[in-house]
Structure formats: structure tokens, C-alpha cells
Structure 1
């Protein structure tokens, strides 16, 4: 096994270990603290960014391995047709092609399972965050959570990490900007009315003076 496929295998083992750690049943408080740390840690964020780039290279290796499997399959079919002409030579060539086919299929399965497990990990992580957020909301409704519980607030923020959460945050920021513009517009309107009343009073005073 070449170096890069050895690294892919190591990544696959790492993903399996992470998946097992995610599905291990833990107390709610411990799991809440763990996922709050994962969602806020800058080191974890950098690691996730590096893994995304790594998965792009693994996808390239997967496409290359599929291409190799197809080419080896074609060579194996040609070797079968040549077996009648020279059994000894064709047999040795067929064994070599079979070995190449085995290694190509192994690399294809290795890269494929690594990519597939990465998708499962991402979906499992999001589902666990949603579950913890819903459990926290139930506890808040029942009044079982202290008001100064920082981990609960962090968990609520972690549950909004997806695209929907980002859109909600942007919408909230737009609403704040709109509210500020409304207050500014109301202030300008009040100031305009005050100046208008003041000018009207001054005109009235001038007319009386005349």
C-alpha cells in the first residue's frame, strides 16, 4: 500500500473512532459541554477546514481508482480471449491482471468508504446538535435550567450552525439595522416637525410685530 493510501486508511480509522465516540451514550450535561467545546474551539474549526481539503484529494483518488478498475476489467477480458492461443503466457498475464484488479478494487473501496463515512459523520453531528438543542428547549420550558447557565446558551448557538441558523442570524442583524433606521427616521421626522413649528411661530411673531 502506497503512502497516500496508508494515510487514507489512517483517516478511515480516525473517522470510525470519532463515530463511535459520537454514538456513545453520555449524560446530557457532559454531552452538552462536549459539543459546546467542539462547536466553539478554533482548533477544531481549523481541523475541519483541513479535513475538507483532504476529502477533495480523496475524491480525486476515488475517481482514479474507479478508472483503474475499469481499465483492469477491460485487460482481464482481453486476457481471457487470448487464453486459447497460449495457455501458459495468458495464464501468467491473467494472474497479474487479477492482482492489479484486486489492488484497484481495494483502493476504490477504501476511498469510497472514507468519503461515505465523512458524510455520515457530518449528518450525525448535526442531528446530535439538533437533539441536544431540543432537549435544552424542553428543559427551559419546564424550568429545569438555571438562568445563568452559559453552556445552555452556547448549545443554543451551536444548534444554529447550519445554513438555516446562519440565515436566521443574518435576518436578525437586518432587523436590527432596520429598527435603527426606523428610529433614526422617526428622530429626523420629529426634528423636522419641531423646526417647522418653530418657523411657524417665528413668522406669526413677526407678523404681530408689524
Structure 2
């Protein structure tokens, strides 16, 4: 396809009216509201705070929508604004956002992440997810450090590339990869522990047991 013909189909941000921009924002940006709320809930850990965070992020996104380049990754652009809004609010409050027992990434998102991430959590985690109560999975995800948790969320749950996650989080790609590795490792160990506590054998737990048995001989 000719790049010129593609560009011709994109809106001219410089000449569009306020009404056209509002219509484009409602059509394109607002379609991500549910996904942004899930991400906000991961950050704020409280439904009310998450709603406020999404509202503030969308307000900022609309004000800056003339700066967004049509045809580029709108989802990543919105997530970057959401993440920066969270960081700014967190520093302004200088306190940990409220937490409740409903802290969660949607269960279907976690299951989807496990299925589409071949380099991700494919052994103990997947087996544990099939057998463990949802509360254990949520607890394990909440137990890992925030930097690691957000890397896992953006890459494994939302499916962003390392480069996109790097742009969203405002850190180098190498940092994203390092945090993702640590986050996956921590989550894998926690899920294996939860599974073992309930008598569910996992690949990771079996390997550890085999090593222990081998060392005892």
C-alpha cells in the first residue's frame, strides 16, 4: 500500500475544527476507557481512586490531543499519560494510594496474558492458574514490587512491546526487560508456593523437589 494514500486518509490535525477533534477523540480515544480503568486499578489499587485517575488522564489527553500524531500508537500514548498522571498524583499526595481487598487485574486478562506470552509465565504459573483460587493469583500479583508489577502488567497483560512499555514507563528498554525478568521470576515463585500449600504439583516445584532428592542421595 502506498504510504501517501495512507497519509491522505488521516485527519489533518492542524486544520480540523474543535468539533471534529472532539468527535475524533470520542471515537478513537474513548474506546480505550475500559482498558485504561483496568490499568488505573492496578496502579491506584482502589476503584474510586482508579476512576479519578482515568478521568484526570482523559482530561489531560483531550487537552493534548492536538499533539497526538494520527496513525501512531494511540493506546500507548494514552497509557503514557495515565502513567504520568499517576506518578504526579502519587508525588503530590506523598502517600500510598488507598488499598482494598478488591485489588486485581481482571482474571480474563491474566489468563490471556499467560496464553499469548510464549516467553512469559508458561510452567508453574499456568498450571497454578488452572487450579488456584482467584484470590491467590491476585495476592501473588499484588505481592511483587510496583516497578516489577507494572512491567509485567504492560508487557504480559496489555501486550505492549518492550519499546512501547519503555515509552509508557519513561525508562530505558533495558530497565523494562530487567524489571520484567524479576517480576516474572517473583510471580512464578509465589504461584508455585501457593500451589504447593494446596498440594498442587507444578513444574517449578517438581524441579526443586528433584534437586533436593538428588542431593540427598
Common fold, TM-score beyond 0.5? Answer: no
TM-score normalised over the length of structure 2: 0.24
TM-score normalised over the length of structure 1: 0.24
Q: State which structure, 1 or 2, has the greater radius of gyration over its C-alpha atoms.
A: 1
